[in-house]
Structure 1
């Protein structure tokens, strides 16, 4: 017993100890009672560290948008492209090389996310991220000094490996360090990092697109170095996730981490510690040490399918239009300089949409946001296809460009950020590092062929569909909507223990919200 008459949670070895359970009940009830503003005031450091970890995604975003802008950059086209119109001196990057540039980083990231689970389980979120940031600094050299498309492609593939580590760890870490009320907003900052990367790229390429020399693309590549070192220093001082520490038996460190993330109040910290330990021990008793094969067994298989669906569906609802915005605008008939301007506007509006998503995720459920956001984009994509199918003039060109921006805005405010929230909440604590990695791998498995398809649809040396690609993306988004309607559960306001119980009971997705779980249940 402690001096205050309460149990010393550090020395409660059994998750069923009455004193520990009392603390766990109090901690979980407090999580449910806290509102968003109260949670933010009492856990400012948790919000900061969650944001820092999520901001590592800016590097993948930066590079993805950068490649999309390179293929529309005049100097880059003349250096590496083929002449398609001698009279007007127009060059274009061949479709196969466009696809290679877009896919190389994703192939590397695919390797990275599969490595992330085992490495994180051994080293923790913090040291895995530090390792990835060091690797990122080194691999940028290859892309910067590349003198051919082949070398640039290799550089992108190697840069992709640390991207995979970042994207697998960030949503898991953010969801574990903040209170229940802040999970939606903090995990949604992943999408904001994408927008910030897009804004920097759009501004840099807009500023350099008039140049006729190699610095038109080398300077934007060099800008990648502004991120890894400052982030490495910040992550070095970040606390490790208390969930990871407790899973590895480091209880004293976990309690210190909880105090650093919250107000430092000993009573509150011990309640949170007890709640975390209770959940971890229940999952450990049910499944033992985490293994890859566990992701495809029992109720964890259902969770893995949902996570993979959420990640993969990000490629099927018009997001690839946003990733290739500048090139899309050019193919829609907009001048090159105006296309770069619109791309910058598109990225800035995406940032605004991300901020709006914080409030949307507080007001509405995850399932509601996903279904309505997808349905909205399906409608807009069909309208885009119709607009591109009629007789073309300046008005239809700008209409396609505006629709492309609106589709990106809707994605950035609904589907994009809420997907990361759903992913981080769906996985079991025991398998989180593995499941987020496998889920992101599903994203790349879906994205790599979709990038090729997107390039084929937009490129003048391919199918040259311009806005008619809206029909294709509307069809794929419909499939995602149907899958989510039947499979996606509502996990807003659910602790990880409650989520475990709901999945173990095999509750139907549409009944998750209405099912009542008592704080005393230990299934």
Structure 2
């Protein structure tokens, strides 16, 4: 990158960067700060950027809502009070019919598709803070529909309309975290998106287990009411939140971006704010030069096509790589002879394993790269799925069911320690900063579309009155997971320790994915 620093009229003047079109792919002006970013230890980064850590975690509260709602509704199908209120009489008891189960189950992913694709424009127009605030108001309004529903159709409408906001939340959370924190913190804070999902699922499972024995309307209304808590907390804190400095620079509000960087950092351990601002400006100028516009179409042009492919695939693998089968762990617990309440409690334990696995992913990211963790997790999970399938061939023994259920717990633990959280790290790092919101939105929409497909398909795969595959579904998901593992080996690059500017250059130079880790950009220009 041929970059010149203009003469400064005063010592305090910020560096002004100019770029010559056509020779963009070398690091010059940002070399020193890039080196400093590479060498910054994790705990030193926490001391330098305490507010960045706080606000990234604060924005993740929004993702808790998405995880909570998706887990909550499906758990209501076996809730007696919910069945009596919204079910139909069948053979002497009330049940939620299969079509309505499908409709309610698809409310969240359909809303996510529409919301994710719609969020690109407001994120760029209004910024991260205001967009999240609008979504919180939206959620509060449509939780009212869920809470006061008088029919299952009304509840389904509330789920779909409320789900529009969830599509925004799962985009805003990782995008914001990646843009406010330094390189050393980026992996852990973007991985917190997955932890937020797990926390939401854990709370929903806990609510279902705790209220399972109630027969009045509060068995299902109380969990709906809890959904008012999250947007209320966010709306109370958003006026004090720090806007993304990357977005402020793109809006030519550089002085506000400087103030944002100062607020995100510690006054006692403050980094070089001028250098940090130059790196953000440099990254934006480079991306402007490589791609002047920021539309959805641009996500599929030039080097951005590969970046979009990677983002879509790592998110899609969360669905097609075995998660739908693991979602039926309670079914296997009941098959093993547990009562309904015991199965609910085992479901809570399964989610707790996921929570522990996500927390363990943080130290792993400090020692191993994203590519290494993701591929290792995929290999182990693929093996477990095939074992679940083979065990089903000897299904006559009751211990086999317990073995399958235990393997599902192990799969969940490994998934939440590797593929689950690393997915959000990859999509937040791989996408170009100017297209990040739209790229994550596309990945979210594709993932939600796949969720709809499996929401429809899984009852027919596992239902005893349908295909009755039971654990043999492990063969299907194991085969899909194996194909995905091969793709991962050739296509997932290593982004650990790379600034956004470096990643822009590596993709533009068409460096092979397996060479991202070893390619030396810092000294390349010096040796040329």
TM-score scaled by structure 1? Answer: 0.92
Contact 2:325 2:474 in 1 (8 A): no
Change (3 A) 1:224 1:519: farther
Give 1:33's aligned residue: 39
C-alpha separation in 2, matches of 1:92 and 1:470: 28
Aligned: 1:44 with 2:50 = yes
Change (3 A) 1:70 1:519: farther
**Please, which runs of 5 or more residues in structure 1 have no aligned partner?**
none
C-alpha separation in 2, matches of 1:214 and 1:464: 34
* Residue-by-residue CA offset, 1:65-115 (whole Å, 9 max, x unaligned): 11221123233345444667x5xx666533322221111111111111111
Pick from 247, 262, 267: which aligns with 2:265?
A: 262
Pick from 47, 66, 80: which aligns with 1:74?
A: 80
Contact 1:98 1:455 in 2 (8 A): no
Contact 1:109 1:164 in 2 (8 A): yes
C-alpha separation in 2, matches of 1:503 and 1:93: 50
Contact 2:330 2:347 in 1 (8 A): yes
Contact 2:48 2:271 in 1 (8 A): no
Give 2:24's aligned residue: none
Contact 1:331 1:458 in 2 (8 A): no
Residues 133-212 of structure 1 mapped to structure 2, 5 A cutoff = 133-212=136-215
Change (3 A) 1:153 1:328: farther
- Measured on the aligned residues, the alpha-carbon RMSD in Å equals 2.3
Change (3 A) 1:461 1:132: farther
Q: CA deviation at 1:436?
A: 1.1
Pick from 122, 135, 138: which aligns with 2:125?
A: 122
Residues 107-506 of structure 1 mapped to structure 2, 5 A cutoff = 107-264=110-267, 268-327=272-331, 329-330=333-334, 333-506=337-510
TM-score scaled by structure 2? Answer: 0.92
> Bigger CA drift: 224-233 or 452-461?
452-461
C-alpha separation in 2, matches of 1:507 and 1:489: 9
In the comparison of the two structures, how many residue pairs are matched? 513
C-alpha separation in 2, matches of 1:267 and 1:481: 40
Secondary structure in 1 matching 2:519 = coil
C-alpha separation in 2, matches of 1:459 and 1:90: 19
Residues 49-60 of structure 1 mapped to structure 2, 5 A cutoff = 49-60=55-66
**Please, which runs of 5 or more residues in structure 2 have no aligned partner?**
1-6, 21-26
Contact 1:54 1:187 in 2 (8 A): no
* Residue-by-residue CA offset, 1:398-441 (whole Å, 9 max, x unaligned): 22222222111111111010000000011111111111111111
Contact 1:28 1:272 in 2 (8 A): no
Change (3 A) 1:70 1:500: same
Secondary structure in 2 matching 1:315 = helix
Secondary structure in 2 matching 1:14 = strand
Change (3 A) 1:75 1:476: farther
Aligned: 1:103 with 2:106 = yes
C-alpha separation in 2, matches of 1:363 and 1:7: 39
C-alpha separation in 1, matches of 2:298 and 2:130: 25
